[in-house]
Amino acid sequence: MQLCVGFFYCQNRLIVSSFCAISFLYLSKLNQIMKTMKLTVHLYYGGAHPSETKHTNDIDQARRWVADAEHGEIINSQNISVE
């Protein structure tokens, strides 16, 4: 009986480990796709500077630009707003 409980515990642990590995691979692939897409970034500075539009393939760069502006919007190549 003890062996069955141990096997059941190990089996559940393997399932959880496999799920974590699959989740990590999925998020890595999603991050890679996000970094290679064409992004248009609309930046608004609230009168201090004129508004501008920039283009990049790097989502991290786009997010940095938005953080530096008073307001900004990131749009992908399908005209969908990206967070």
Q: Is the pLDDT of residue 1 over 50?
A: no
Does this model's pTM top 0.75? My answer is no
What span, in angstroms and rounded, lies between the C-alpha atoms of 29 and 42?
26
Say yes or no to pLDDT of 3 above 50.
no
Query: Each residue of 40-81: pLDDT tens digit?
Result: 999 999 887 899 999 999 889 999 999 999 999 999 988 999
Task: Say yes or no: 56 and 43 in one domain.
Answer: yes
The tally of domains found in the chain comes to 2
Alpha helices in 1-83 (DSSP H): 2-36, 59-68
d(CA 51, CA 66): 12
Kindly state whether residues 45 and 82 are assigned to the same domain: yes
Residues 21 and 45 in one domain: no
Same domain? For 4 and 43 the reply is no
Same domain, 26 and 49: no
Q: Which domain holds residue 20?
A: 1-34
Same domain, 47 and 82: yes
